[in-house]
């Protein structure tokens, strides 16, 4: 995880519960969009069973 992401997590934890919920919903919505870079990362992290 990058330092920028760690900083964002720290800042998010300082938000009110309502603002954290809104932030999480927005992040999840952004992940619903197709992104080849995310798909590629996900396929590399999956290990054969």
Choose the weakest-confidence range: 2-6, 18-22, 38-42.
Answer: 38-42
pLDDT at 45 exceeding the cut of 70? no
Tell me how many domains the chain contains: 1
pLDDT at 24 exceeding the cut of 60? yes
- Report which of 15, 34, 33 is spatially closest to residue 24, judged by C-alpha positions: 15
pLDDT at 7 exceeding the cut of 80? yes
> What is the per-residue pLDDT for 32?
80
Assign residue 32 a region: left if phi > 0, alpha if psi is -120 to 50, beta otherwise?
Answer: alpha
Give the C-alpha separation, 15 to 29, whole Å.
Answer: 19
Mean pLDDT computed over 19-41: 84
- For the chain, the distance separating the N- and C-terminal CA atoms, rounded to the nearest angstrom, is 26
- Report which of 12, 36, 35, 34 is spatially closest to residue 25, judged by C-alpha positions: 12
Domain membership of residue 13 as a residue range:
3-45
């Amino acid at each position: 995880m990058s330092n920028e992401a760690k900083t964002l997590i720290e800042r998010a934890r300082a938000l009110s519960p309502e603002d954290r919920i809104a932030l999480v919903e927005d992040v999840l919505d952004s992940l619903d969009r197709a992104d080849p870079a995310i798909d590629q990362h996900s396929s590399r992290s999956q290990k054969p069973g």
